Amino acid sequence: MNTNELQLYSCEYLMDTSMKTEPFVVDKMIYPGLYIFAGSPKIGKSWLMLDLCMSVAEGREFLKHETSKGQVLYLALEDSLLRLQNRLYELSDEPAENLEFAILADSIGEGLEEQLENAKKRLPQMKLIVIDTLQKIRESTDISYGSDYKELSVLKKLADKLKVAIVLVHHTRKSHDNDPFNMISGTTGLSGCVDGLYVLSETRRGSRKGKLAGVGRDIENIELNVEFDNYKWLVQDDVKPYERDIFPFAIHDLMVDEIRFVGSATALCSLLKRRYSKEFYPNRVTRDLVQHKSELSGLGVSFESKRSHGSRTIILDYSRSGDGSDGSLLCSEVTDLTVTRSTGSLADTLFNAGDGNFLGAENSGSG
């Protein structure tokens, strides 16, 4: 391909191609990509980041949100080893096996990218890099939108390449603004480049009570009431528990009985509605089939989409020999485990359980 030509992707290619998705680092909060966590000086950002690092390294909840366990690198560039040691002992008396630290690093464009790539090679299961603080790795003294965007674009590209979340700790301005994201120090070039922004602010300076507000491309807008107690920021709100995406398991359980389906997305939705007494939408079901294609394959369900005369035909086939579950029903969270297929319709057992979220919020009418 001529390097002067754009790489073009047809609409059909985008809608029919299964794209690999990366799992969350912190459910509903952090996914692979670039993030800024900002707050005023000495508010307790480093305590929050240390708790984040330890939570992901140990696979435990962070601010009442599920984490995906993995290796973590914390660049504590404003701390000494003694200060880190003291903070770790305030939070735990047992070391986290998956957590590594560094207190020195090069700047952006001056060796940092190579250092982080080498760290990924040494820590192949690394999911999270925290850089505390952004100012410590900035080389340019130019304060402009272009300069801010250009510097962070380097880290954004690196996060995507390494398939990790990079969190930059940053400061807010002294001046108050009703929109907390306007308080982030620097130009809008910073916020324009990153995948997500979080701002930690106190209700009253020194009260140790405040809010953590978040916004981003792949995350829901979030606002948590938090309180600093015993060296940790604790959430005071009720947080909706993590819900596993069970769409591929639901399709699997359907196809174990159906064996083969050939028809339109609308026809598939009608079949799903008859079996599960819920409303389904063709674009959502088609999208989920495309995005879960590889996972469905491991469950013995093959998915193919053909277009003829301007309409799309969906083809689903089930093969017991390719089913890693050996034909077992997999929607255990909404199915009575004592019920077998011989007792009647799977739909009866699923929805009599009263969950109402069989295919997830985006795939059911109740969502």
Q: Please write the tens of the pLDDT for every residue from 288-315.
A: 999 999 899 999 999 998 887 778 899 9
**Is the pLDDT confidence value at 29 over 60?**
yes
Structure tokens at 99: 């957590």
Q: What does the pLDDT read at residue 343?
A: 35
Total number of domains in the chain: 2
**DSSP state string for 153-168:** HHHHHHHHHHT-EEEE
- State how far the Cα of 134 lies from the Cα of 63, in Å rounded to an integer: 23
- State how far the Cα of 31 lies from the Cα of 41, in Å rounded to an integer: 26
Asked if 71 contacts 100 with a C-beta cutoff of 8 angstroms, the reply is yes
Q: Is residue 195 part of a domain?
A: yes
User: How many C-beta atoms surround the C-beta of residue 67 within 10 A?
Assistant: 24
Query: Which of 235, 262, 281 is the endpoint of a domain?
Result: 235
Return the percentage of the chain with pLDDT > 70, whole number: 89
Q: Is residue 6 part of a domain?
A: no
Structure tokens at 250: 């639901």
Q: What does the pLDDT read at residue 306?
A: 86
**Is the pLDDT confidence value at 325 over 90?**
no
Same domain, yes or no: 209 and 272 = no
Same domain, yes or no: 216 and 341 = no
Q: What is the mean pLDDT of the chain?
A: 86
Same domain, yes or no: 207 and 74 = yes
Same domain, yes or no: 80 and 111 = yes
Using one digit for the tens of pLDDT, what is the confidence trace for 174-199?
878 888 898 898 888 888 999 999 99
**Is the pLDDT confidence value at 109 over 60?**
yes
Give the C-alpha distances (Å, rounded to integers) separating 233 from 46, 239, 351: 11, 15, 38
Same domain, yes or no: 168 and 303 = no
Q: What does the pLDDT read at residue 2?
A: 63
Same domain, yes or no: 114 and 188 = yes
Query: Which of 235, 257, 274 is the endpoint of a domain?
Result: 235
Q: Is residue 300 part of a domain?
A: yes
**Is the pLDDT confidence value at 356 over 70?**
no
Q: Is residue 363 part of a domain?
A: no
**Domain range enclosing 263:** 247-352
Same domain, yes or no: 46 and 182 = yes
- State how far the Cα of 253 lies from the Cα of 175, in Å rounded to an integer: 56
Residue 277 sits in a domain whose CATH number is 1.10.10
**Is the pLDDT confidence value at 131 over 90?**
yes
Q: Is residue 3 part of a domain?
A: no
In one-letter notation, the amino acid at residue 96 is A
Same domain, yes or no: 37 and 176 = yes
Q: What does the pLDDT read at residue 315?
A: 94
pTM metric for this prediction: 0.81
**Is the pLDDT confidence value at 280 over 70?**
yes
Same domain, yes or no: 99 and 152 = yes
Same domain, yes or no: 227 and 256 = no
| Residue whose tokens read 């019920």 | 339
Q: What does the pLDDT read at residue 332?
A: 59
**Is the pLDDT confidence value at 346 over 70?**
no
Q: What is the mean pLDDT of residues 235-240?
A: 87
**Residue 158 half-sphere exposure, CB side, CA atoms within 13 Å?**
23
Q: Is residue 169 part of a domain?
A: yes
Same domain, yes or no: 125 and 271 = no
Q: Is residue 359 part of a domain?
A: no
pLDDT confidence of 140, banded at 50, 70, 90? confident
Q: Is residue 95 part of a domain?
A: yes
Using one digit for the tens of pLDDT, what is the confidence trace for 257-269?
899 999 999 999 8
pLDDT top residue among 338 and 64: 64
Q: What does the pLDDT read at residue 338?
A: 30
Residue 41 sits in a domain whose CATH number is 3.40.50.300
Query: Which of 235, 270, 300 is the endpoint of a domain?
Result: 235
**Is the pLDDT confidence value at 83 over 90?**
yes
Same domain, yes or no: 190 and 255 = no
Q: What is the mean pLDDT of residues 201-209?
A: 86
pLDDT top residue among 141 and 60: 60
